[in-house]
Chain A
Amino acid sequence: MRMARVAACAACYHCGLPVAEPGRWRARILGAERELCCAGCEAVASTIVAGGFEQYYETREATARTPLSQALARSAVYDDPAAQKQFTAAGEGFLEATLILDRIRCAACLWLNERTLRQVPGVLRADINYATQRAQVAWDPRRTKLSAIIEAIRAVGYDAWPFDPQRQSALDRDTRRAALWRLFVAGFGAMQVMMYAFPAYVDEGAGDLSGSDASLMRWASLVLTLPVLLFSCGPFFSGAWRELARLRPGMDTPIAIGIAAGFLASTWATVTGQGEVYFDSIAMLAFLLLGARYLELTARQRAAASLDRLARWQPSEALRLADEADAGSVESVPAHALVAGDLVLVPAGERVPADGTVERGASSADESLLTGEAVPLAKRPGSELVAGTLNLEQALVMRVTRAGAQTRAAAIARLVERGAAAKPRLVEAADRIAHALTWVVLAVAALAGIRSGDPWIAIAVLVATCPCALALAAPVALASTAARLLGRGVALTRSSALETLAKASDVVFDKTGTLTAGRFTIARLQLLGRAGEGRCRALAAALEASSRHPLARAFQDEVSREASRGSRVPVEDVVNFPGHGVEATAGGRRVRIGTEAFCQGLAGTPAPATPRDAALTPVYLADDGGWLSVFLLEDSLRPEARQVLDELSAAGLRLHLLSGDHPAAVGSLAGRLGLLEWAGGAAPQDKYMYVEKLQGAGRTVVMIGDGLNDAPVLARADASIAMGSGADAAQAQADCVLLAQDGEARLAAAAECFSLARRTMRIVKQNFGWALAYNAVALPLAAAGWIGPLEAAIGMAASSFIVVLNAMRAG
């Protein structure tokens, strides 16, 4: 039971959470004493003030994240020279690395981090890019270490990881720069050429503009349009060339033809001194088209860069046995240095560094990385171990079979690279329409030109009906939405999923880890013997204090409370029985906590019958004198679960709950959440068939689960959303990952996925409608000669721009 005084609580000045014990933690910030909620906030606030960075509190736009209280990865691991080779660059007496910053809330946080970094002695240079939230740090390895730098960032309440340069894309930056350069040349050239064209527009034939002056203007226009054509329009020409080589005209062909034809005709007019010139229209056309493409590029790159935050270099060491017979001869090596055949020691509580089989020892492993269920699997000699999973109870000695890039986890991580490779069906349809339209346009242009005898009509047709709006309609909207979702903590690994999410009719939820938090708490306690409740709790807490079993965590919360009340029970000779329970000596007696069968071994008699709630997991406590108590644990429901489900059903989606758990437990949960359709005790094949049946009835099914839980089912569903607690790349197998923030994935983000997806598709359809309508009007007008190339250029480029701006509305 927590001390919960609601309503009248002050809010912590640093992180905004309610202050439960006013007066206990304070700091003097910006000239006044401020209340803080915990020791962590006090430490961070004091550090910020001591560093002279109080200004942070003035300019920040949001409260800070509550400082992490659990143990962070040992930062010393970053100093290993072999590991550092992977992400640092060496210079003359200094090392340089890029760090991804975490827990950033606003620009003030970035400012604070930069100032803090620069203050660390030994740091030569620290620059933070506000757009990507990455820091370039250079330091003198003789005066400071990377671990000290990362500790400095943690001291002010943030976190940082080295950026894996294998993922780094200097290419992205160069692409963006090249696009911006082209845009500038086109824009600046267009402006200047328009100035030269101006006299010709205002000249009413009254003779103000002499022939030689007009010729001068034309030549100047030509000279300035040349770089625009040759350089800025390069992508259009190379694109058109590629398309024509395959005889598949797409977006670029009409543009390229229109621009080239316009330029050649204008050049001819300049040289011969007769006819009209259209250099200004061509330059402006190029500018507007490139502008639209640039916006699309930045939107796409931004989404990709944010996704790169998942590309942290994961520090991992392994304890390799130098001498196979001697379990004490361990040496610490980086995990990527392991090879098949090595023998490694995996201590209790550590992650398995590579794929392998158990040589010696017995323990259990948490494979929620793969299965999504936190129920530990027993491991004995001969059992398989998977890299990245957690060894729970006792040390194991393992023979490596696959290490480094060959491990299953690494293979899964490579799937993340897929990104937005698969085009949404809608976009493919657009491509096909544009393809057909191009042939029609070319034919009409040729006919109109021949019939009227005026090549400018043909050019007007080509330019007016360019299907760029069609091409730009979808990609910008999708990229924008992906970036926006990322800001909400949702990573879209396949933007094609947006289309499916918008069309979804049914949503299937997994239970453990999705609707529930995967954390157990003690719901009830039933006394079975002579010991009182306090004694039972204290005994249980003491026995489970060092256990890593997921159920043990419910008891470990008791430990701190008992410690503060001074009623800790000393225990000795703690023995762990993986899969069964823990035994120890307390107060002179042997005590056991664990499964009913395990405790019965000590108590002697069968457990007394107790009213059982199938939704709760029982843990028994007994000593050699008899039964003591049974604890009933429940998997806590996520607080936002009910709300999310209500939102989704209000949006018209049918909701289902599918779980492998006991039907009674699943049924009671379904009742609590108001779900009408549910199924418990479902094996993976049952889940698969359930989804298949729904699809057979014509429904579009979205599955929400965690990890690679039931991978075939996730693949079977039309779209899949995964809970990203733990930030394991494995979750990226799904189309959409709800990223963890402060260790907890946000289920509420799931509801946003659906609503944003629908909005995006609406906007894409609006864009398509507009593009087609515009073309339907412009084509006949241009063919009839009612609009010249200039108006055609303006109209076409403007419509592209409108489409792009509308698309950015999605994001």
Chain B
Amino acid sequence: MESLYLLVPLSVAAVFGIGWVFWRSLHGGQFDDLERPGTDVLSDDQ
């Protein structure tokens, strides 16, 4: 199971990476208005 010694630390690093991505999107305002995307689907235009 030596591969575990590579994969587990990799996964820990991946978690931090994903956390950073979420941080960016959160502070970019993507979670400020959660109702709009639901109705945007109905509009035809851009």
Chain A: residues with CB nearer than 8 A to chain B? Answer: 55, 59, 107-108, 110-111, 129-132, 173, 177, 180-181, 184-185, 188-189, 192, 196, 210, 213, 216-217, 220, 223-224
Do B8 and A217 touch across chains, with their CB atoms under 8 A apart?
A: yes
By the criterion CB–CB under 8 Å, are A220 and B8 in contact? Answer: yes
Distance between Cα atoms of A196 and B11 in the complex (Å): 10
A224 touches B12 (CB 8 A): yes
A174 and chain B: residue at smallest CB distance: B27
Contact check, A184 vs B8: say whether CB atoms are below 8 A apart: no
* Residues of chain B lying within 8 A (CB to CB) of residue A130: 33, 35-36, 39
Closest to B14 in A: A192
Which residues of chain B from 1 to 46 have a CB within 8 Å of any chain A CB?
1, 4-5, 8-9, 11-12, 15, 18-19, 22-23, 26-27, 31-36, 38-39, 42-44
Residues of chain B contacted by A188 (CB below 8 angstroms): 15, 18-19, 22
B26: chain A residues at CB < 8 Å are 177, 180-181, 184
Looking at A130, A131, A173, which has the most chain B CB atoms within 10 Å of its CB? A130
Chain A residues with Cβ below 8 Å from B43 are 55, 59, 111
Q: Closest Cβ of chain A: how far from B30's Cβ, in Å?
A: 10
Do residues A180 and B31 form an inter-chain contact, with CB atoms below 8 A? yes
Question: Bound complex: CA of A210 vs CA of B39, how far in Å?
Answer: 53
> Considering the chains assembled together, what is the distance between the CA atoms of A59 and B4 in angstroms?
54
Task: Tell me the complex Cα distance, A173–B44, Å.
Answer: 30
B12 near A220 with CB under 8 A, answer yes
Taking a contact as CB atoms under 8 Å apart, the answer to whether B15 and A189 are in contact is: yes
Q: Complex: how many Å from CA A132 to CA B38?
A: 15
* Besides A131-B36, A181-B23, 11 new A-B residue pairs in contact (Cβ under 8 A), listed by A number: A59-B42, A110-B39, A129-B32, A129-B33, A130-B33, A130-B36, A177-B31, A184-B19, A184-B26, A213-B4, A217-B8
The answer to whether B11 touches A216 (Cβ under 8 A) is no
Closest residue of B by beta carbon distance from A127 = B33
In the complex the two chains form, what is the Cα distance from A55 to B39 in whole Å?
Answer: 13
B39 to chain A: closest residue by CB: A107
A-B contacts, 16 of them at CB < 8 A, read: A59-B43, A107-B38, A129-B33, A129-B36, A130-B39, A177-B31, A177-B32, A181-B22, A181-B26, A184-B19, A184-B22, A192-B12, A217-B8, A220-B9, A220-B12, A224-B15
Q: Is the CB of B39 within 8 A of A177?
A: no
B33 partner residues in chain A, CB cutoff 8 A: 129-132
**Separation in Å of the B23 CB from the closest CB of chain A?**
7
Closest to A106 in B: B39
Closest Cβ neighbor of B18 among chain A residues: A188
B38 to chain A, nearest CB (A): 8
For residue A192, which residues in chain B have a CB less than 8 angstroms away from its CB? Answer: 11-12, 15
Chain A residues touching B, majority SS: helix
Across-interface contacts of B44 in A (CB, < 8 A): 55
Q: For the complex, give the distance between the alpha carbons of A110 and B22 in Å.
A: 28
Query: Which 4 A-B residue pairs are closest in the complex by CB-CB distance?
Result: A107-B39, A130-B36, A130-B35, A129-B33
Interface contact A177-B15, CB-CB below 8 Å: no
A169 to chain B, nearest CB (A): 13
B43 to chain A, nearest CB (A): 6
CA A111 – CA B37 in complex, angstroms? 12
List, in ascending order, chain A residues with CB within 8 A of B31's CB.
177, 180
Q: How far is the CA of A192 from the CA of B19 in the complex (A)?
A: 12
User: Which residues of A have CB within 8 Å of B32?
Assistant: 129, 131, 173, 177
Contacts of A189 in B (CB 8 A): 15
Distance, CA A675 to CA B8, complexed state (A): 76
Which of B8, B9, B38, B42 has most A Cβ within 10 Å? B8
CA A192 to CA B42, docked complex, whole Å: 36
A557 CA to B42 CA in the complex, in Å?
Answer: 44
Assembled-state Cα–Cα distance A224/B4 (Å)? 16
Contact residues in B for A108 (Cβ distance below 8 Å) = 39
Closest to A58 in B: B42
Q: By the criterion CB–CB under 8 Å, are B23 and A223 in contact?
A: no
A177–B22 CB distance below 8 A: no
Contacts A180-B26, A220-B8 given: A107-B15 contact, CB under 8 Å? no
The minimal Cβ–Cβ distance linking A343 to chain B, given in whole angstroms, is: 48
Residues of B within 8 A of A59 (CB): 39, 42-43
Chain A contacts for B15, CB-based, 8 A:
188-189, 192, 224
Whether A111 lies near B27 (C-beta < 8 A) is: no
Q: Are B35 and A107 in contact (CB under 8 A)?
A: yes
Instruction: Specify the chain B residue showing the minimal Cβ separation from A196.
Output: B8
> Please, which residues of chain A bring their CB within 8 A of the CB of B9?
220
Q: What are the residues of chain A within 8 A of B5 when measuring CB–CB? A: 216
Q: How far is the CA of A524 from the CA of B18 in the complex (A)?
A: 77
Given A131-B34, A192-B15, check contact A177 B27 (CB 8 Å). yes
C-alpha gap A223/B39 in the complex (Å): 41
Closest to B8 in A: A220
**A216-B36 contact given A180-B31, A188-B19, CB 8 Å threshold:** no
Candidate in B15, B19, B43 with the most chain A CB atoms within 10 angstroms: B15
CA A189 to CA B15, docked complex, whole Å: 8
Give complex CA distance A774, B15 in Å.
35
Closest chain-A Cβ to B22's Cβ sits at a distance in Å of 6
Note all chain B residues with C-beta closer than 8 A to A217: 8
Q: CB-CB < 8 A to B12: which residues of A?
A: 192, 220, 223-224
Which residue on chain B has the smallest CB distance to residue A193? B15
* Closest beta carbon of chain B to A509's beta carbon, Å: 38
Q: Say yes or no: B19 contacts A210, CB within 8 Å.
A: no
A224 / chain B contacts, CB cutoff of 8 Å: 12, 15
In the assembled complex, the Cα of A177 lies from the Cα of B24 at a distance in Å of 12
Residues of B contacting A210 in the complex (Cβ-Cβ under 8 angstroms): 1
Chain B residues lying within 8 Å of A223, measured Cβ to Cβ, are 12
A110 proximity list for chain B (CB < 8 A)? 39
A590 to B39, CA, bound (A): 65
**A contact residues around B27 at 8 Å (CB):** 177
Q: How far is the CA of A59 from the CA of B34 in the complex (A)?
A: 19
A808 CB → nearest B CB, Å: 16
A184 neighbours in B (Cβ, 8 Å): 19, 22, 26
**Could you tell me the distance in whole angstroms from the C-beta of A138 to the nearest C-beta in chain B?**
16
- The answer to whether A213 and B39 touch (CB under 8 A), given A131-B33, A177-B26, A177-B31, is no
- Residues of A close to B35: CB separation below 8 A: 107, 130-131
The chain A residue sitting closest to B37, CB to CB, is: A130
Complex Cα spacing A55 to B42, Å? 10
In the assembled complex, the Cα of A107 lies from the Cα of B41 at a distance in Å of 12
CA gap between A129 and B34 in the complex, in Å: 9
Q: How far is the CA of A196 from the CA of B12 in the complex (A)?
A: 10
Closest to A199 in B: B4
Pair B1/A213 contact, Cβ less than 8 Å: yes
User: Quick one: which of B5, B33, B38, B44 has the most chain A CB within 10 A?
Assistant: B33
Residue from A111, A181, A185 within 8 A of B39 (CB atoms)? A111
Taken together as a complex, chains A and B put the C-alpha atoms of A177 and B34 apart, in Å, by: 13
CB distance from A510 to the nearest CB of B (A): 39
CA distance A223 to B13 in the complex (A): 10
Give the distance in Å from the alpha carbon of A220 to the alpha carbon of B33 in the complex.
35
Cα distance A506–B34 in the bound complex, in angstroms: 42
Query: Shortest CB–CB separation between residue A718 and chain B, in angstroms?
Result: 37
Nearest-CB residue, chain A, relative to B22: A184
Distance of A196 Cα from B18 Cα, bound (Å): 17
Q: In the assembled complex, which residues on chain B have CB atoms less than 8 Å from the CB atom of A111?
A: 39, 43
A566 to B21, CA, bound (A): 73
**Considering only CB atoms, which chain B residue lies closest to A185 in the complex?**
B19
Q: In whole angstroms, how far apart are the Cα atoms of A667 and B7 in the complex?
A: 85
Residues of B within 8 A of A185 (CB): 19
Chain A residues in 8 Å Cβ range of B39: 59, 107-108, 110-111, 130
